[in-house]
Amino acid sequence: EPEVTQTPSHQVTQMGQEVILRCVPISNHLYFYWYRQILGQKVEFLVSFYNNEISEKSEIFDDQFSVERPDGSNFTLKIRSTKLEDSAMYFCASKRDSNTGELFFGEGSRLTVL
């Protein structure tokens, strides 16, 4: 069964460093997302991406965050200058249908900012 894959599974970084989290969505999916889950808290929407542009973003997704689909298969989340509060599990998701389809999530990338 096709799945969303994410790398790395765990990254530890120093505050102020740049981090790139990578995702390979399911191949025939057209809509891509990043969510995050701070330990013990709920899953929060960050950004949605369709047709090579951001379609919606949350207030969390400030100027320190960016997304890119550089080569038609990877979908990346970049955090320019990490803060302690960016420590979380970051989930990539994709879906095929624009309106009623369910999201398929990756296993997550755990980011620890020291």
Residues that bind other proteins (CB under 8 A): 4, 31, 33, 35, 41-45, 48, 50, 55-56, 58, 91, 93, 99-100, 102-108
| Between 6 and 82, CB nearer to other proteins | 6
Whether the upstream peptide bond of residue 8 has omega within 30° of 0, thus cis, is yes
Q: Which two tokens stand for residue 99?
A: 């309106």
Cβ 76 to other proteins, closest distance in Å?
17
Q: 10: which strand partners?
A: 110
Cβ 99 to other proteins, closest distance in Å?
7
Distance CA 69, CA 40 (A): 30
